[in-house]
């Protein structure tokens, strides 16, 4: 088994790698299908893994939009860089997003798309990450992430949904993307100033 594969990384460290399979093209389409991705000037992807969502972002974003990713797992990062050499990626925790955005010369980011495994994270880490996201997101920006259909049944998944409602003015959920392993849905969150 390839040591850089998502399956190997999941088996090696299931509490930081949230899935044993990459997100499907159907989930990638759903998470990037909200209104306006092609019109924003800055996009960040958190936890891109091997890049299952990245290709869909690249297809939809405007040619001149700023785009970078933040990935903590070094082994997965190597595969991401091979798959998407044109995308700037930071090997840091997403908790550092405000500082990373400043390095990029961005006061705020229009859209943040996340592949982070939220239901695996403890309460304190969820708080830190959401604080980093909301402080970096533009006043009318979008934060999009996904959850597997079983996660809202878990305590951390229920807590995460509550935190989304507390941190964003509007939280919408997509229909279930059944052609994903496991099936998933998308949270689309709007921060209105």
pLDDT attached to residue 132: 98
Q: Structural domain of residue 46, as residue ranges?
A: 6-12+24-190
How confident is the model at residue 12, as a pLDDT?
Answer: 45
User: Residue 180 pLDDT more than 90?
Assistant: yes
Q: Is residue 97 part of a domain?
A: yes
CATH number for the domain that contains residue 78: 3.40.50.150
* 59-74 tens-digit pLDDT: 999 999 999 999 999 9
pLDDT reading at 9 higher than 60 = no
Specify the pLDDT at position 16: 44
CA 118 to chain centre: 10
Q: In terms of C-beta density within 10 A (0-12 exposed, 13-18 middle, 19 or more buried), how is residue 153 classed?
A: exposed
Residue 32 domain flag: yes
In this predicted structure, the answer to whether residue 8 has a pLDDT above a threshold of 80 is no
Q: Return the bridge partners of 112, or none.
A: 44, 143
Domain count, the chain: 1
In a domain, 132, yes or no: yes
Q: What is the mean pLDDT of the chain?
A: 89
**75, part of any domain:** yes
Reply yes or no on whether the pLDDT at 15 is more than 80: no
- Both tokens of 26, joined, read 């159907």
State the DSSP code for 119: G
Q: What is the pLDDT of residue 166?
A: 96
Residue 17 domain-assigned (yes or no) = no
Whole-number pLDDT of residue 17: 40
Residue 18 lies in a domain: no
Please report whether residue 89 resides in a domain.
yes
In a domain, 154, yes or no: yes
Q: What is the pLDDT of residues 64-110, one digit of tens each?
A: 999 999 999 998 999 999 999 999 999 999 999 999 999 999 999 99
């Amino acid at each position: 088994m390839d040591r850089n594969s998502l399956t190997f990384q999941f088996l090696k460290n299931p509490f930081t790698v949230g899935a044993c399979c990459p997100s499907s093209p159907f989930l990638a389409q759903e998470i990037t299908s909200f209104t306006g991705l092609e019109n924003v000037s800055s996009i960040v992807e958190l936890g891109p893994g091997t890049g299952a969502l990245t290709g869909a972002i690249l297809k939809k974003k405007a040619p001149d939009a700023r785009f970078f990713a933040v990935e903590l797992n070094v082994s997965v990062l190597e595969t991401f860089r091979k798959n998407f050499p044109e995308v700037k990626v930071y090997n840091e925790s997403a908790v550092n997003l405000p500082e990373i955005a400043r390095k990029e010369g961005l006061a705020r980011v229009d859209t943040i798309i996340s592949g982070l495994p939220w239901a695996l994270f403890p309460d304190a880490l969820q708080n830190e990450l959401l604080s980093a996201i909301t402080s970096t997101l533009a006043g009318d920006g979008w934060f999009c992430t996904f959850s597997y259909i079983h996660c809202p049944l878990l305590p951390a998944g229920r807590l995460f949904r509550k935190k989304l409602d507390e941190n964003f003015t509007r939280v919408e959920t997509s229909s279930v993307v059944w052609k994903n392993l496991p099936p998933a849905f998308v949270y689309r969150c709007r921060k209105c100033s």
